């Protein structure tokens, strides 16, 4: 599952699964360029998925493109 966020006219895509205990980040709230998890308020940067309390930890972040009014997310092939 991937969560898509819109903030200040920019779209961002992060893994929807919070790395703490698995809440859906799409149910969180956006503030100051971050999404806060709805369960325990861990905050992740929308720009690259960095956990704001420990920059060594990141959740997956995906490239987003807007083409002809549709949102495309680049998913890496494993
Ligand atoms: S489940 Fe997201 S901060 Fe705890």
User: Which domains are assigned to the chain?
Assistant: 2-73 (2.102.10.10)
Determine if ligand 1 sits within 6 Å of the CB of residue 42: yes
| pLDDT above 90 (res 78) | no
Q: What is the mean pLDDT of the chain?
A: 96
Q: What is the pLDDT of residue 26?
A: 98
Determine if ligand 1 sits within 6 Å of the CB of residue 35: no
pTM of the model: 0.93
Closest listed residue to residue 27, CA positions, set 17, 37, 18, 14: 37
d(CA 57, CA 34): 14
């Amino acid at each position: 599952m991937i969560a898509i966020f819109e903030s200040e006219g920019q779209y961002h895509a992060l893994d929807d699964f919070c790395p703490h205990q698995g809440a859906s980040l799409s149910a969180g709230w956006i503030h100051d360029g971050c999404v806060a998890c709805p369960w325990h308020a861990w905050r992740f940067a929308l720009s690259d998925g960095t956990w704001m309390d420990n920059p060594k930890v990141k959740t997956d972040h995906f490239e987003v493109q807007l083409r002809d009014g549709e949102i495309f997310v680049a998913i890496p092939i494993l």
